[in-house]
Amino acid sequence: MNDKKLKGQDKRFTGDGAADYDTRIKNLVPGYQTLQQIVPALLHDKLAEDAQILIVGAGTGSDLLSLALQHPSWTFLALDPAKPMLDIARRRAKEAGILDRVEFVARDIDQLQSANSYDAAVCLLVAHFIPDDGSKEKFLGQIARRIKQGAPFVCADLCISMEQDRWRAYKSWARGRGRTDDEVSAMFKRIVSDFHPVDETRLFELLDSAGFGAPIPFFQALDYRGYITTRQ
């Protein structure tokens, strides 16, 4: 899977798509801001004061800012194949006064020249874009190889649910956010065509194959779910 082809050249993550990403994501993912608040708290007691954290799919920097502002001695590598997204993240980091604690790298994770280097990894709302044809397992394995043994890994993505009432609730939630019926229908079609979610059983299999331990759930909003696990 070439994530750069997927994301780095996708109009949703370049140009105007990058500029309005932060607005779009809040209207796409229920509980997005709550998720951002939980992750730093989740890692708080698990990492040393000088922890180095890998953020995979750093995007416009929301994950980075949430973690860095609550933990002023942690340092970060913000990785994303979409340079326009990272340019926004870099600007936000400068405005927040955390630029000296962040390295920005615009490339795929399999191009990252480091192994067993980081004390933790965070990957939010990324893996559901990757097909489960061997690519998703490879992607997770690439993350595992770049963090230390015993290091925590936090992930969150859309998961499959066969319950149609969940989709009806999702559409109702989107309308409550001010989306029109046409916008909701378009958003739903994009999810069906562009996302590659797996159910919890399959996710646990993939994480195990990639080298992670048993995941512990920490977040769910409709079918968006978050887990924390450790590198074995």
Which tokens sit at 3?
């994530």
Judge whether 147 lies within some domain.
yes
Q: Please report which helix (H) or strand (E) contains residue 230, including its range.
A: strand 224-230
pLDDT on residue 18: 56
For 74-87, write each residue's pLDDT tens digit: 999 999 999 999 99
Hey, what's the torsion of the CAs at 47, 220, 188, 8, to 10 degrees?
10
DSSP per position, 89-109: HHHHHHHHT-GGGEEEE-S-G
- Name the DSSP class of 47: S
Give the distance from CA 109 to its chain's centroid: 13
Domain CATH code at residue 42: 3.40.50.150
Strand, coil or helix: 19: helix
Judge whether 43 lies within some domain.
yes
Judge whether 13 lies within some domain.
yes
Judge whether 190 lies within some domain.
no
Separation between Cα atoms, residue 205 and residue 207, nearest integer Å? 6
Counting the structural domains of the chain, the total is 1
pLDDT on residue 121: 98
Judge whether 181 lies within some domain.
no
pLDDT on residue 41: 96
In Å, how far are 3, 165, 191 from 85, measured between CA atoms? 14, 34, 21
For 134-161, write each residue's pLDDT tens digit: 999 999 999 999 999 999 999 999 998 6
Backbone φ, ψ for residue 52 (5° rounding): -110, 125
Give me the sheet containing 216-221, strands edge to edge: 102-105, 75-79, 52-56, 120-124, 152-158, 224-230, 216-221
Name the band, by pLDDT with cuts 50, 70 and 90, for residue 6: very low
Separation between Cα atoms, residue 184 and residue 45, nearest integer Å? 40
- Whether pTM exceeds 0.85: yes
Q: Please report which helix (H) or strand (E) contains residue 22, including its range.
A: helix 21-28
Judge whether 89 lies within some domain.
yes
Strand, coil or helix: 228: strand
Question: What is the extent of the structural domain holding 61?
Answer: 3-163+197-230
- Name the DSSP class of 223: T
Residue 223's contacts (CB-CB under 8 Å, 6 or more residues apart) are 158, 159, 160, 161, 166, 170, 197
Residue 230 near residue 213 (C-beta atoms within 8 A): yes
Backbone φ, ψ for residue 114 (5° rounding): -155, 150
pLDDT on residue 8: 46
Judge whether 212 lies within some domain.
yes
